[in-house]
Each structure stands twice: as C-alpha cells, then as structure tokens.
C-alpha cells in the first residue's frame, strides 16, 4: 500500500466520523427550520415576545427573524426580506461556512480555530449595530418587521 492509498483510507474513515459534527449541526438546523415552518410565528401564543422589544419598544437586529425563517421555509423570499433582510442576507454566508466546515471534515483536515478573519467579524458586528440603529429611526422604517 502506497502513501496515497493509506491517506485515502484514513480520509474515508476519519472523514465519515469527522462529518458527524457538521451533519449534526445541519440536522439540528433543519429541525428548527421545519418546526418554525410548521408552527406559524405570525399567530400569537406560539413563541415568546422579543425581550428587547417588550422592554424598550424598539426592534432588535433579530426582530422578525422567526417570521422570516417561516417565510423562507415556505419559499416566500420577498416576505422574508420584508421581515428581516439582515437574517435573509446572512443565510448564504452561513451556508458557505457550513460547507467549508463539512468539506474540511470530509478531507480529514483539522477544524479551523477561527471562523473568519477578525476584520470580517468586526465588520459584521458593525453592520449589525448600524442595522439595529437604522431600523429604529424614521427613515429606516422599511427595515422594521
């Protein structure tokens, strides 16, 4: 057996086992989306009120996310964008990072200790904060759920 065959054998066995974490995360995410897609957040009494909205009367960056997930689960992207555009725009990035994680696991490479460069994380945090502020201002009312 040469080195390439030995590596391929390790990748198959280690890759399948290493895929348990990304596949588990995908299964959990799928279960949550299925639940939110089935139990309509537009009907009162199924989900708690946003604590930030309840206390302050202002929208947090996540307000409208459950209804946006419900709309996406039903294939209604325009409605989802109207409820929480930041949550909808974030989905492709999350899918990319999950795919990268799953591919690294399948190839038998060690998991990265950081998800993204610190500059990207800080930029995303700044976007969330600006989004949070703007959606509560009169000219940003179109961002409100």
Domain ranges (residues) in the chain: 3-143
Under the banding of pLDDT at 50, 70 and 90, the label for residue 16 is confident
Is the pLDDT at 11 greater than 80? The verdict is no
Structure tokens at 133: 């502020």
Contact 102, 23 (CB under 8 A): yes
Cα→Cα distances 120→114, 116, 126, 127, Å: 11, 6, 10, 10
Give me the chain's average pLDDT, please: 88
Closest by Cα among 104, 6, 53 to 65? 53
Higher-confidence residue of 101 and 75: namely 75
Long-range contact list for 35-39, CB < 8 A, 24+ apart?
A: 36/66, 36/69, 36/70, 36/73, 37/69, 37/70, 37/73, 37/74
Percent of the chain with pLDDT over 70: 89
Under the banding of pLDDT at 50, 70 and 90, the label for residue 116 is confident
Is the pLDDT at 4 greater than 90? The verdict is no
Structure confidence at residue 24 (pLDDT): 94
pTM of the model: 0.81
Higher-confidence residue of 23 and 115: namely 23
Burial (CB count within 10 angstroms: exposed 0-12, middle 13-18, buried 19+), residue 19: middle
């Amino acid at each position: 057996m040469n080195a390439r065959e030995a590596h391929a054998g390790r990748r198959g066995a280690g890759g399948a086992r290493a895929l348990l974490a990304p596949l588990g995360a995908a299964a959990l995410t799928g279960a949550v989306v299925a639940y939110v897609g089935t139990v309509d957040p537009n009907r009162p009494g199924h989900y708690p009120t946003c604590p930030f909205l309840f206390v302050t009367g202002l929208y947090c960056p996540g307000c409208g996310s459950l209804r946006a997930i419900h709309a996406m689960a039903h294939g209604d992207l325009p409605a989802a964008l109207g409820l929480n555009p930041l949550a909808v725009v974030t989905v492709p990035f999350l899918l990319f990072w999950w795919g990268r994680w799953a591919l690294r696991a399948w190839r038998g490479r060690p998991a990265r200790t950081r998800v993204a460069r610190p500059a990207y994380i800080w930029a995303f945090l700044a976007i969330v904060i600006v989004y949070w502020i703007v959606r509560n201002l009169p000219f940003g009312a179109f961002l409100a759920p």
